Every structure is written in C-alpha cells, then in structure tokens.
Amino acid sequence: MQYSWLNKKDNKNLIVFFNGWGMNETPVKHLVCNNFDVLMLYDYRKFDINFKDFNFEKYEKKYLISWSMGVYAVNFYKEIFEKFDRKIAINGTGLIIDNNFGIPEKIYKLTLDYLNEENLERFKNNMFNKGNLNPEITITRSIEELKEELISIQKLKPDSEISYNKVIISNNDKIIPSKNQINYWNTRADYNLVNSTHCLFKEYLSWQEIIC
C-alpha cells in the first residue's frame, strides 16, 4: 500500500481517505481541505503499512472516508479505523466481489483477464455519465500493477467489516452496481442515494461537504 499527504499543516482534524482501484489523487485534488490534514491511501497490492508511524492520536477529530475498493480495503485495518469519530463510505461495499453485494464475480474476472489500455480507458469512462467525463482523472500505474492489485483483493479477505455513520450510493453506478450496494447496506447502515455516477467527487467542493 502507498500513501500521500494531500494536505499536512498540523491541523487539529484529520481525514484518512482510502482511494479506489488504480486511482491517484486526481479524482479528489480539487476538494478544498480547509482545516483538515488529509492522508490518502491507495494501491492495495500489499497491506503493509504500519499506521502507528502516523501518530493519529495527536488529532482532536479523526474522519474516515473510503471510496469504491477502498471500502473493502480499509477493513484490513478495522482495529484502527473503527475508533474514528466519523466514517463515511462512498460507492463501495465490504464484499467487493459478490454477485449480490458487490462487483459480480464474472465481471471482476473478465476485468482481470482482459485488462489492457483500451479496456482501462473504458473503465474510466464508465465511472462517469456519457458526455460528462472528467479528463483530469488519470491512471498512471502499469497494467501489470493494476492486475496485481485485482489479484490481491481477490485472494485476501478481512476478518470483519467496519461500521459506518454515513453511506453514499450513486444511483447510476456502472462499476459497483447501485442495486448491489443497496442490498449490502440495507441491513447495515442508513444510506443516501444520490443522482450521480461511481466517481461522484465532482459534485463536491470540499472534504467538509462529504463529511456533513
């Protein structure tokens, strides 16, 4: 796993953001940080970060925001993040590969088996409505690295799942079907159904808007 500080100014409040598959900071770099330090986690080929090195205890308020595959990945560190003051899940589930509660198994396998530059571009386009693409979204890692990440997620399963205070589901999610997300969260947490697509961050101006 890799990390990057999107904002680090010794603020009293912290946001830890678990990103989606293959992503870097481009989906969220426009979000105003205000008085939050923001730590981004991504690249789930290995779960090898020692979070004790980050000294989360120094912050007065701590917030978890996880998106897409990040909603699944953060469960490997439940002991740490379950204690955060507020936890928000966006367009993801704790069962990332599942016919009823996540990405259908056949779709996941096809993505892994036939991943190339052309299909990767198609995946990026599917994160948005047709004609409403975000050209700033970039996927800079190699095809091989992206396949390794899919394999890692496919093989590893966390022991339990984080409980969330807020869940956001887009009604036009073409990556993790909206109906599957609703199936998953229906008995686990209250959710907000919004009129958007899988990558919905363009709907927000700041991290604060997502937390509220």
Residues 184-212 pLDDT 10s: 999 999 999 999 999 999 999 999 999 99
Give the pairing of strands 36-42 and 2-7. Answer: antiparallel
Residues 163/82, Cβ–Cβ less than 8 Å:
yes
Strand, coil or helix: 111: helix
Dist CA 117 CA 141 (whole Å): 11
Domain that holds residue 163: 2-211
Predicted pLDDT of residue 134: 60
For the record, the structure tokens of 11 come out as 């603020």
Dist CA 45 CA 1 (whole Å): 6
Q: Which CATH number is 206's domain given?
A: 3.40.50.1820
Predicted pLDDT of residue 56: 96
pTM of the full predicted structure? 0.95
Share of the chain above pLDDT 90, in %: 88
Split into its structural domains, the chain has a count of 1
Question: At 3, phi and psi to the nearest 5?
Answer: -140, 160
Give per-residue pLDDT as tens, 7-62. 999 999 999 999 999 999 999 999 999 999 999 999 999 999 999 889 999 999 99
